């Protein structure tokens, strides 16, 4: 089995303010001063990106800075949107696209998500493509079809070398913010199916290298078991990423799990 460096992202969503976000960034960077064997990133709200960037930079932290969304056009009359160039200018290294709340609260479709992903990767940035089925879709047994469609359409016209910079986050909608974590077995099954699809879309080598992370009620006390699954390469953390001690513990659990898998 290829050994993949795990990735843990803290998606702060529409939480924190300038003071609490700064405190959180400081505490997380202090807790993860020696980031060994794991990539970690935080995704603060847009207005706090520059503040968090200064904190991470001043502390020499290797935690990466990410945004929760992006728009695919370079500039122009797109009121309220933020371009890839603007994010790069602010020191942002990676971005989420297609998060469940963007899909289901804001109404983003696969085609738009694909444009955003292409814009990020073409500009040399990293990206996290989020996919996941709703409760109705799972209860109807359609989870594999739904995730396949989201991955396939999300990755349309994205060449293999770009996949190096891509992380895929499997986040079942019914597990997000509900406290109902997917069982490690169910999550593993979907991760394996997504990896299999990547192998068919690209090749076995790309599939062995791409990181597929799990999101949905990951906590300090369930992270280790999830991350021990062969195809789960870390997590995208919502609620628990707002508590520095929990985010630090979850990130360390990912590094430990990777050692055991190596």
Binding status of residue 215 toward ligand 13P by CB under 6 A? yes
- Size of site (CB under 6 A) for ligand 13P: 15
Of 114 and 235, the one with the shorter C-beta distance to ligand 13P is 235
Query: Cβ closer to ligand 13P: 6 or 216?
Result: 216
From 101, 133, 137, 171, active-site residue: 171
CB of 84 within 8 A of CB of 119? yes
- Taking CB positions, which residue lies at the least distance from ligand 13P? 238
Report the nearest approach of ligand 13P to the CB of residue 100 (Å). 6
| 226 belongs to the binding site for ligand 13P (CB under 6 A) | no
Please identify which of the residues 72, 99, 101, 191 carries the catalytic annotation.
Answer: 99
Q: Does 113 bind ligand 13P (CB under 6 A)?
A: no
239 near ligand 13P, rule: CB under 6 A = yes
The answer to whether 176 contacts ligand 13P (rule: CB under 6 A) is: yes
Instruction: Report if residue 150 touches ligand 13P, rule: CB under 6 A.
Output: no
Q: Does 168 bind ligand 13P (CB under 6 A)?
A: no
171 is catalytic: yes
Facing residues of 53 across strands? none
Give yes or no for residue 237 binding ligand 13P (CB under 6 A): yes
The residue (of 92 and 207) whose beta carbon lies closer to ligand 13P is 92
Establish whether 256 is a catalytic residue. Answer: no
Residue 48, classified by CB atoms within 10 Å of its CB into exposed (0-12), middle (13-18) or buried (19+), is buried
Cα torsion 237, 200, 145, 226 to 10°: value is -30
Q: Which of 37, 45, 91, 177 binds ligand 13P (CB under 6 A)?
A: 177
Q: Which of 232, 170, 247, 235 is nearest to 15 (CA)?
A: 247
Residue span binding ligand 13P (CB under 6 A) among the ranges 28-36, 55-63, 118-126, 231-239? 231-239
Q: Which is nearer to ligand 13P, 41 or 207 (CB)?
A: 41
Stretch that binds ligand 13P, among 112-120, 134-142, 157-165, 211-219 (CB under 6 A): 211-219
Q: Note the residues at the interface with ligand 13P (CB under 6 A).
A: 11, 99-100, 171, 176-177, 215-218, 236-240
Annotated active-site positions, please? 99, 171
């Amino acid at each position: 089995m290829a050994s993949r460096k795990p990735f843990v992202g803290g998606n702060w969503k529409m939480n924190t303010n300038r003071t609490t976000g700064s405190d959180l960034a400081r505490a997380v960077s202090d807790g993860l001063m020696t980031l060994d064997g794991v990539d970690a990133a935080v995704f603060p709200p847009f207005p706090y990106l520059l503040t968090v960037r200064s904190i991470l930079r001043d502390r020499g932290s290797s935690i990466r800075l990410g945004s929760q969304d992006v728009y695919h056009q370079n500039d122009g009359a797109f009121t309220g949107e933020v371009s890839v160039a603007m994010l790069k200018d602010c020191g942002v290294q990676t971005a989420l696209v297609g998060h469940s709340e963007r899909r289901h609260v804001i109404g983003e479709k696969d085609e738009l998500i694909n444009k955003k992903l292409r814009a990020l990767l073409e500009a040399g940035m990293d990206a996290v493509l989020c996919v996941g089925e709703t409760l109705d879709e799972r209860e109807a047994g359609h989870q594999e079809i739904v995730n396949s469609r989201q991955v396939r359409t999300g990755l349309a016209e994205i060449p293999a070398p770009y996949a190096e910079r891509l992380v895929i986050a499997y986040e079942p909608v019914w597990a997000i913010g509900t406290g109902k974590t997917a069982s490690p077995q169910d999550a593993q099954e979907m991760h394996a199916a997504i990896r299999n699809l990547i192998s068919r879309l690209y090749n076995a080598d790309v599939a062995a290298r791409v990181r597929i992370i799990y999101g949905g009620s990951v906590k300090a006390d369930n992270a280790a078991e999830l991350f021990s699954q062969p195809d789960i390469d870390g997590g995208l953390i919502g609620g628990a990423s707002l508590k520095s001690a929990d985010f630090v513990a979850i990130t360390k659990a990912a590094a430990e799990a990777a050692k055991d898998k190596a």
